[in-house]
Structure 1
Amino acid sequence: MLLADVVTASASLAATRSRKAKIATLADLLNRADERELPAVVAFLTGRPTQGRIGTGWRTLAELGARPADEPNLTLAGVDEVLGEVGAASGSGSARRRADLLAELFTRATEAEQQFLFRLLTGELRQGALEGVMLDAIAAAANVPAEAVRRAFMLSGQLPVTAAAAVTGGEAALGGFGLELGRPLRPMLASPAESLDEAVREHPSAIVEYKMDGARIQVHRDGDEVHVYTRTLREITQHVGELVSLVRALPCRSVVLDGETLALTDDGRPRPFQETMSRFGSTREEQVRALLLQPYFFDCLHLDGTDLLDKPLRDRNEALRRVAGEHLIPGRTEPSDPDAILAAALDAGHEGVMVKALASPYAAGRRGRAWLKVKPVHTLDLVVLAAEWGHGRRTGYLSNLHLGARDPDGGPPIMVGKTFKGLTDELLAWQTRTFQEIETHRDKWTVHVRPELVVEIELDGAQVSTRYPGGVALRFARVVRYRPGKDPADADTIDAVRATLKGAAQPE
């Protein structure tokens, strides 16, 4: 298969908003790829090389200056091999080696192929938001149930691996995936509820527990071997020694737990989220001593040889209580006074509560209604698209943020508003430095960036507007914090923004 086939498919995907058309385009390409090409097809069209990050950035690619080829001749397998060599380059002279490999590759690429590769390697191609569409396309190409594909992906955590199994081995191969100790699962996600009353009405038989402003963790233990992962499945075991020791001491032989971890103040209140996240990349002993992490577990997916994913939450919670002990997240099962739990959570400095249906299985990687989050302040996680230079006291700083919501059908983020409110001097300095490192282009007033940073925005709903392409605009938006543990694929969708419309008909 030629790279040009993938480029053509990518252009077709960008040209339509029809989910059905996107699925058909992807399924056709998957059916035409051989087994060796499948991983690259899936990876490229979900916005990343098969190797992940390969150590090259926007500026390196922009300075290549390669003249495009007249006719397409690059094979998909050949391109994947070169990118593998670029990613493997290390040591003295590696920067020059990477640049030479990329220059040769771009010289052999047509103009359309160069543009595709540039966007792929700088993270501007879909950013993984096409994941759901790709899963449906894999099911269509392999003629297998979509749920079988989703479950295999939940367990493998890798789209290319899931696609290869589906297309080459069908439903039987997909059924071969199981929970594997030491291989992280995609976390189950929650949906917002308008109020606690609404959430309790929807789930009258439920657990109501604290919603903490911490970092999501998933821990795996097999004997004395322990692994700790973030919500993006990045392993952080080496940075969180106190969590490793704690999990190793739990009363079990093997376990997989889902939870949150926080750094606490001396009086037991949560420190700012950014301080907790700083531990995930630090090995400095003084910081380890100052910011010990406390885990709060809320789900048990495996215990002593028994997988619990398909068991109802009621059963999983019983297993959790047996193993987690004092590290169980605060909450109650079918409480008589859920408002009291919400008040206690807020009084302790947390965000709100979660209301979880006791009959629900663990739907990894899915954002359904089985788990509902209740927060007094309405917030959305949005993607930063650009920032404008400030005025007055903010002269010299990138200030006014351009914000985008995720397109659920895999297109680029859809702009829904701007804000400069809620930014501290520290955040302004960080933004100004960081945005210029991920800059794609600029004009006199605005620096446009790769859509890879997620920021939590507090807002008073949305209003119908023709100013932005989504047909809505944020009302009284204010920055709460950046979310370094989230990818753009985790951002809220344009549908979530439209759901906050106040007293107006939603746009068609």
Structure 2
Amino acid sequence: MKLARVVETSAAVAATRSRKTKTAELGALLDEATADEIPTVVAWLSGVIGQGRLGVGWRSLSSMGGAPAGEPTLTVDGVDEVFDRLAGAHGPGSATLRKDLLIEMFGAATEAEQGFLRRLMTGELRQGALAGVMVDAIASASGQPLDLVRRAHMLTGSLPETASLAVHGGADALAAVGLQVGRAVAPMLATPADSLADAVVTLGPDVVVDFKLDGARVQVHRRGDEVSVYTRSLRDITSAVPDIVEVARQLPCNAVILDGETLTLDADGRPRPFQDTMSRFGSAGVADDDPAALLRPFFFDCLHLDGIDLIDRPLTERLDALTALAADLRIPSVVNPTVEEAQSHLDAALAAGHEGVMVKSLAGPYAAGRRGKAWQKVKPVHTFDLVVLGAEWGSGRRTGFLSNLHLGARDPDGGPPIMVGKTFKGLTDKLLQWQTDEFPKHESHRDSYTVYLRPEIVVEIELDGVQRSSRYPGGVALRFARVVRYRPDKTVDEADTVETIRALLPDS
């Protein structure tokens, strides 16, 4: 298959907001691809390169322009081979080899292909091929049942692998996919509740109410002495969290998959600032004389235990397994509370320094990778994870610092983030300095007032509400927005959508 055909489909998908049209365009492309090409095409149109890190930075790619080719000659297999060689280039002479490979590939690319390759290789390819849309397209192109394709993707966490199973193995291969200890599972996500009382009544009477810890999501896998720890974005951080690994190795079992949170605690047991927890994710270890830097894991779900898959069992059975295995590591919770008892639990969570509570149906299975009503989060104020689109230079005491943030919400149809407001509130001197140092590394362009960023940085914003506004493309404006913290544990694809923001409108 010619690369030009992939580029053409990418442009067509980006040009429409219709999920049906996106699925049709992607399905048609996959119909034309060979069985061996499909995983690569699926990966690219999902904005992913199968080889992972290529050792090529933005600066190197920005200089790769030159006169484009007049006719398309590049193929999917040919470009994938170049990516193999880039990823495998190491040692003396590797920089020269990478440069030569890039010059040759970009020199053979048309203008449209050059733009596609540059965006793909820098992680900026966001043409709306969301996972759900791609799953639909894989099912359509392979002729396999959509439910089977969705489940295989949920359990593999990989669209290319799912596509390969669907095309090469069919329904039997898809149905055979199960939980695999050591392979990360897409985490189940929660939706904001209208209120605590509404969540308890709607999901009740059989519910559990957990503390919502001010920590980072972790998924812990263990088989024998082999332990793997993953973030909510499925990044393997095992080597950076030896303290969690040691806790997992002490559990009285042979094989387990646990879902939970981790955080660092003060001597009195209160959570330390979120930034302290996140700084540990980039560390190779902990000093023996600094017990406060230890990451403490707390779990709220058990997906597998000693050969038994629990992911499809009701939450009540999963919690029974978790309690039998590690009752002392369970997140504080109350089962089947009245509204008044749930409120007392929320008050206790806030008093202990945590974010709020999670209300969960005890009857529900673990719907990995989905936001469903079975899990609802309750916080005392509205907080959203938004994308930093730019920052304006400050004035007065902030002169010389990047200050006022341009904020965007995720487009649910996969397009670029949609601007919904600005804020300079909540920024400490430390954050101002960090922004001024960090933002230029993500710069796309600038003018005399503003540095505009590639959509790569997620920030948690607290606000009092929203109002209708024609000033911003999202049609809403944030009221009294202030910065809570940056979220290096989250990708842009995990930011809140503009629909979630609009849901706060009084008459929505």
TM-score by length of 1: 0.96
Contact 1:58 1:440 in 2 (8 A): no
Q: How many residues align?
A: 504
Q: How does 1:404-443 map to 2 (within 5 A)?
A: 404-443=408-447
Match of 1:396 among 389, 393, 400: 400
SS in 2 for 1:51: coil
Distance 1:128 1:456, change over 3 A: farther
Quote how far apart the aligned CAs of 1:284 are: 4.9
Aligned to 2:284: 283
Calculate the aligned-residue CA RMSD, in Å: 1.5
Contact 2:128 2:415 in 1 (8 A): no
SS in 2 for 1:244: helix
Aligned to 1:451: 455
- C-alpha distance after superposition, 1:179-233 (max 9, x if no partner): 1111111111000012101111111110001000101111111112111111111
Aligned to 1:347: 351
SS in 2 for 1:126: coil
The letter for the 1-side match of 2:333 is: G
Distance 1:200 1:290, change over 3 A: closer
Contact 1:131 1:410 in 2 (8 A): no
Q: Does residue 238 of structure 1 match 2:239? A: yes
Aligned to 1:263: 264
- C-alpha distance after superposition, 1:285-330 (max 9, x if no partner): 4386440111110000001110000000011010010011211100
Aligned to 2:28: 28
Aligned to 1:76: 76
Contact 1:208 1:353 in 2 (8 A): yes
| Structure 1 CA distance for aligned equivalents of residues 279 and 430 of structure 2 | 15
Contact 1:459 1:476 in 2 (8 A): yes
Aligned to 1:315: 317
| Structure 2 CA distance for aligned equivalents of residues 123 and 245 of structure 1 | 34
TM-score by length of 2: 0.96
| Structure 1 CA distance for aligned equivalents of residues 92 and 401 of structure 2 | 36
Contact 1:191 1:371 in 2 (8 A): yes
Aligned to 1:331: 333
SS in 2 for 1:167: helix
Quote how far apart the aligned CAs of 1:234 are: 1.3
Contact 1:384 1:452 in 2 (8 A): yes
- C-alpha distance after superposition, 1:33-54 (max 9, x if no partner): 1122112211111112222332
| Structure 2 CA distance for aligned equivalents of residues 145 and 201 of structure 1 | 35
| Structure 2 CA distance for aligned equivalents of residues 10 and 30 of structure 1 | 12
Match of 1:365 among 363, 369, 377: 369
Contact 2:127 2:415 in 1 (8 A): no
Aligned to 2:90: 90
Task: After superposing the two structures, state which structure 1 stretch, 56-65 or 155-164, moved more.
Answer: 56-65
Quote how far apart the aligned CAs of 1:127 are: 8.2
SS in 2 for 1:150: helix
Q: How does 1:16-55 map to 2 (within 5 A)?
A: 16-55=16-55
Aligned to 1:253: 254
- C-alpha distance after superposition, 1:428-482 (max 9, x if no partner): 1111221111111111111111111111111122111112222222121111111
Aligned to 2:303: 301
| Structure 1 CA distance for aligned equivalents of residues 191 and 82 of structure 2 | 41
Quote how far apart the aligned CAs of 1:424 are: 1.2
Distance 1:78 1:282, change over 3 A: same
Aligned to 1:222: 223
| Structure 1 CA distance for aligned equivalents of residues 158 and 187 of structure 2 | 14
Contact 1:384 1:455 in 2 (8 A): yes
Quote how far apart the aligned CAs of 1:143 are: 2.4
The letter for the 1-side match of 2:465 is: G
Contact 1:133 1:410 in 2 (8 A): no
Q: Does residue 143 of structure 1 match 2:143? A: yes
| Structure 2 CA distance for aligned equivalents of residues 147 and 409 of structure 1 | 21
Distance 1:281 1:242, change over 3 A: same
Task: After superposing the two structures, state which structure 1 stretch, 365-374 or 65-74, moved more.
Answer: 65-74
What are structure 2's unaligned runs of at least 5 residues?
none
Distance 1:128 1:256, change over 3 A: farther
Task: After superposing the two structures, state which structure 1 stretch, 71-80 or 436-445, moved more.
Answer: 436-445
Task: After superposing the two structures, state which structure 1 stretch, 305-314 or 410-419, moved more.
Answer: 410-419
Contact 1:43 1:159 in 2 (8 A): yes
Quote how far apart the aligned CAs of 1:146 are: 2.2
The letter for the 1-side match of 2:228 is: H
Quote how far apart the aligned CAs of 1:89 are: 1.7
| Structure 1 CA distance for aligned equivalents of residues 165 and 223 of structure 2 | 26
Quote how far apart the aligned CAs of 1:114 are: 0.5
Give the percent of matched residue pairs that are identical in Structure 1 and Structure 2. Answer: 63
Contact 2:418 2:498 in 1 (8 A): yes
SS in 1 for 2:444: strand
| Structure 2 CA distance for aligned equivalents of residues 438 and 104 of structure 1 | 27
Quote how far apart the aligned CAs of 1:105 are: 0.8
Contact 1:58 1:438 in 2 (8 A): no
| Structure 1 CA distance for aligned equivalents of residues 495 and 158 of structure 2 | 19
SS in 2 for 1:12: helix
The letter for the 2-side match of 1:41 is: V
Quote how far apart the aligned CAs of 1:15 are: 1.1
Quote how far apart the aligned CAs of 1:129 are: 6.6
Distance 1:285 1:193, change over 3 A: closer
